[in-house]
Structure 1
């Protein structure tokens, strides 16, 4: 190797070493930013998962309340007053008529029998608009498990559901 060729080889090797040093410094500066981005992404995914789980809990409470309202209305529709049935009172659905007091009593009795884990469950309305239909409206509080209770109301959300059933005698 000549002196000129050796000098070029040495210069080339020095340039590669300097470039490699710069690459290490640049990549080293981004290590913390990548970690921060990863932590942020995990936090966002976790927050979204908890919000979806809380929304699902509210939805399931609403479906439970709807089922209870339907059950109470069906029980109330079966509770035709005996006096009106045997006394000859008729409606479009057949003999007998539902009274508001009978609907209220039957709906309350049905709710007592149900295994319910909803908080503050109560009957808002229980009546018969036409003597053949029972309408029962229930309310309860739903408190999802994963929402920040300092931001939203601590009492949770009030949910309502209405169930309707019609008494028929097959006439």
Structure 2
């Protein structure tokens, strides 16, 4: 009886170390996934902010000159949307790596569409498992210029 019990010595320690390793790995993977998710949410917020700023930047000549869209007077230009989006991003306190405007345009003269890209690097994942450069994340924001007409 004692001989059978002696064969089981040390097995609990090995099981405990294995369990702790698996739990620690899961915690690190969840923390890394959360970091990428928070970067994506930040990028989405920045894209929405840039699109809203671009929609507010109606060209003054077209607004006061009488040019009209279905939404009211004034027309958004692609150059105006690009400039307003860049100015809004410059005023934001962001810490995203590789943040840039992929495209900023107005498809119909009343809507501003801004697409941003950035890089996200999970802090705890081994670089042999994922690309060394991390992930490229993309977010698009859309805003419509209206005058309440």
Q: Give the TM-score band, short-chain normalised.
A: over 0.9
Q: Pairwise CA RMSD of aligned residues?
A: 0.8
Counterpart CA distance in 2 for 1:125 and 1:169 is 25
What is the CA distance between 1:33 and its match in structure 2? 1.3
TM-score, normalized by length of structure 1? Answer: 0.85
Mark the structure with the bigger radius of gyration: 1
Matched, 1:159 2:137: yes
Deviation at 1:87, TM superposition (A): 1.0
More helix by share: 1
1:32 Cα deviation after fit: 1.4
- What is the CA distance between 1:29 and its match in structure 2? 2.2
Alignment of 1:6-85 (within 5 A): 22-23=1-2, 25-85=3-63
* Unaligned ranges ≥5, structure 1: 1-21
Q: Which digits, 9 at most, give the CA deviation of each residue in 1:62-113, with x for residues without a partner? A: 0000000000000000000011011110000100000000000000000000
Structure 1 runs, 4 residues or longer, greater than 3 Å off: none
1:111 equivalenced with 2:86 (yes/no): no
| Deviations 1:16-61, CA, capped at 9 Å, x for gaps | xxxxxx32x3333212111111101110111011111111110000
1:126 to 104, 107, 111: 104
Of structures 1 and 2, the one with the larger relative CO (CA 8 A, separation 6+) is 2
The count of aligned residue pairs is 149
Which position in structure 2 is the counterpart of 1:99? 77
1:141 partnered with 2:119: yes
Gaps of 5+ in 2: none
Distance 2:117 2:101 in 1: 6
Q: Which residue of 2 aligns with 1:15?
A: none
